[in-house]
Chains A and B, each alone.
Chain A
């Protein structure tokens, strides 16, 4: 497909590289030539220099001929204008990235008025993700498939864990819960485990189950932690604002530390119960004064990866049970994970996830199976994709044991008529089912791609 992306910043760049890897033709638009150059050096894309709000620039980038037009600059209004122009020129689908909380409230109305196909708010997506892990602190990552009621939880196996040394075939017998181990990362390599896989300390493993079963599983393995009750958030960014809003409604006590006094005032006018401290969060004295030692959650959301990493390490050493850090640089994430395993998030990856899922779902034509949701587990190579099974799919009508799945592919959950269960050899897919497929190192655009 032909895709035009306006804005080659962090978010635009990440989206471009994901979609490029999938084989789409990408044209990037940005006002800064240097950004376009570095993008062109890193991947096989074309650059077009200029403002995306200018019709002439859009024409030059052939936005009218694009199947998908994605406006991902940092300026909401420019994104909206660009999408309008692209739509008028004849672009197939338009996607706008919007930051402002006001636009989030009215996302649905905006979509219909401006004829947008998708509106993405990276800050809000990130905040939702963080609030989910704070509800389930034992996990590094929690991905929910809303329609089927299944969750995929990723966590690090601790040295002392009773999972250490357990063979996959014994998992069900030992812990009595119906859970499915769907992906594992060992020494930086991702794999879909088979029956012979033996869990080792230091593995990052992803398990699928219904939320209740997952909770019981974690309790029986002794790794369960109660939801976080007191959180310190470093940096009063929009993510912090959204996150506090989400947490306040569940009764979590929030303290935000922000250096800029005017920003503090703004936050104080929108957030009712949160404590807002105007101070430098890098000052460990301030952290302690703000109750770091009493907190069971610490979220680092400053604009600097380095600050976030260092202060997360500090909070971890001070004994805070759950530490979440926003790290944009993927290399830094690896570095941080080598030191201690806790949740790291990057808004750009979360946005790329959503857009990749959306773009893939446009490709369904052959078997009428559409993509409902897509998540990266650990890194962009391991994905969990939820498909709506179409009548034309080759997977329909045969039991799982008969289907010849590609290596690196796993059917993780099947939902039929609102009830979801973990598949086994006898499971037969039917049209209308929702199937969650986990893949490692294999790109699955259509459901039939899982077959050999």
Chain B
């Protein structure tokens, strides 16, 4: 283990967080609130971060092990410090609650423990939704984009932070790749912000909701979420941007380059859009009678399908009251999530596609044992190693989600609530069904459950392995 370099990077992460905290602090000042909660958070961050970054590494070699550890550690440190402003400002007095809230923010989950988010200070609210934007693309990718880090081994870190079964660069340089990703991210966020402003949202609400959509988070400034605005325009804008942020960002890069053929050929994108269309029609038909007409059905169905599929977690309707068919379709969509390389959570569609293909592959293999065949995805053969890791990932995903349900069940809540709460945390969606439905919150769970779910959210965002390595001593002991 190259501890020095790992800690050096942690230092940079903490400094970056300190810098990012300036934004909510500015918001607090603009709205004539006390900036002290942020100052008291930034100071220790600067101290520790500065100290760690002074730790000069003897060499800058990074391997897969260091990459995973770096990412896992960075996210946990950021969460631990990120919870402080809520406590210091008195928005969320208990630290465990604040930690749950900030983890939920950074991992772009959007599960809240707050009864009434509107009671939050303006600065606290800004930080709460801004964390979605930070977590969406990832802070280590951000560091690669803005700080002069050695790029030789940085791919090990990118690989651990960027979601999806395989991570490919857009251009030869890691740094340039990270910049392109962030520019696309920023561009889309600004675009959504403008659209929301046009829809009559206040400046403050528009910018925060743009952050929350971009990271596919799901926190809202309002207790009733997007339903509070009761505007078809705003719903459609947000739903469509959720659709966009659920796409692989490479798609936008190809669009910018004018390579439309590559976009059109993308298998994942086509399946993604196909699933969206099918689910929207199915749910719209199913709820038409309950909401008064197919048109209204389409409106709610489109928004809710996108909110679940992009793992955003906004709400315009309490889908917990919908018929069982619609509810179960939404639960199934929770597993899949968005495309690989997007800001969405979940297992990622490309993994699901590879899993389904490997199932049929295995079926045929049973009748023709001597057959040699590759699974093809995006017109390329998938390596056996990738297929295997996808299968293991699926197992780990289900096993951890199941285990968390077991722990949650000690609290005595009903099964549907616990199951969907666990899935919603693992897939970084936010609301589930039952007592954690769109109109409810996670506040009633015990501290232990909240901590476990916080860890689960981190596992979901970082795709399990980095957090698992943090918990396994053998990896720490070095090579």
Binds A, one of B4-12, B250-258, B264-272, B370-378: B370-378
Are B368 and A275 in touch, CB under 8 angstroms? yes
Query: Is A289 an interface position by the 8 A CB rule?
Result: yes
Query: Is A162 an interface position by the 8 A CB rule?
Result: no
A211 to chain B minimum Cβ distance, whole angstroms, is 32
Among B373, B379, B381, the most chain A Cβ lie within 10 Å of the Cβ of B373
Q: Mark interface residues in A250-269 (1 if CB within 8 Å of B CB, else 0).
A: 00000000000100110111
Given contacts A269-B374, A275-B373, contact A289 B368 (CB under 8 A): yes
Instruction: Report the separation of the CA atoms of residues A289 and B371 in the bound assembly, to the nearest whole angstrom.
Output: 11
Are A268 and B373 in touch, CB under 8 angstroms? yes
List B355-386 residues whose CB lies under 8 Å from chain A.
368, 370-374, 376, 379, 381
Are B372 and A268 in touch, CB under 8 angstroms? yes
Query: Is A82 an interface position by the 8 A CB rule?
Result: no
List B contacts of A264 (CB < 8 A): 372
Q: Mark interface residues in A267-280 (1 if CB within 8 Å of B CB, else 0).
A: 11100100111110
Instruction: Report the separation of the CA atoms of residues A306 and B376 in the bound assembly, to the nearest whole angstrom.
Output: 36
Query: Is A286 an interface position by the 8 A CB rule?
Result: yes
Please name the residue on chain A nearest to B373 by beta carbon.
A268
> Interface extent on B, as a size class?
under 10
List A contacts of B381 (CB < 8 A): 268-269
Please name the residue on chain A nearest to B371 by beta carbon.
A277
> Interface extent on A, as a size class?
10 to 19
List A contacts of B373 (CB < 8 A): 268, 275-276
Q: Mark interface residues in B215-243 (1 if CB within 8 Å of A CB, else 0).
A: 00000000000000000000000000000
Given contacts A268-B381, A269-B381, contact A277 B376 (CB under 8 A): no
Contact of B371 (CB < 8 Å), options: A265, A269, A272, A276:
A276
Are A286 and B376 in touch, CB under 8 angstroms? no
Are B374 and A277 in touch, CB under 8 angstroms? no
Are B368 and A277 in touch, CB under 8 angstroms? yes
Are A276 and B376 in touch, CB under 8 angstroms? no
Are B379 and A275 in touch, CB under 8 angstroms? no
Query: Is A177 an interface position by the 8 A CB rule?
Result: no
List B contacts of A333 (CB < 8 A): none
A403 to chain B minimum Cβ distance, whole angstroms, is 55
Instruction: Report the separation of the CA atoms of residues A275 and B369 in the bound assembly, to the nearest whole angstrom.
Output: 12
Query: Is A164 an interface position by the 8 A CB rule?
Result: no
Instruction: Report the separation of the CA atoms of residues A267 and B376 in the bound assembly, to the nearest whole angstrom.
Output: 13
Please name the residue on chain A nearest to B383 by beta carbon.
A269
List A273-293 residues whose CB lies under 8 Å from chain B.
275-279, 286, 289-290
Assuming A264-B372, A277-B368, what are 16 further A-B pairs, CB within 8 angstroms? A261-B372, A265-B372, A268-B373, A268-B374, A268-B381, A272-B376, A272-B379, A275-B368, A276-B371, A276-B372, A276-B373, A277-B372, A278-B370, A278-B371, A278-B372, A290-B368
The 3 closest A-B pairs by CB, nearest first: A264-B372, A268-B374, A276-B372
Chain B residues in the interface with A (C-beta under 8 A) = 368, 370-374, 376, 379, 381
Chain A residues in the interface with B (C-beta under 8 A) = 261, 264-265, 267-269, 272, 275-279, 286, 289-290
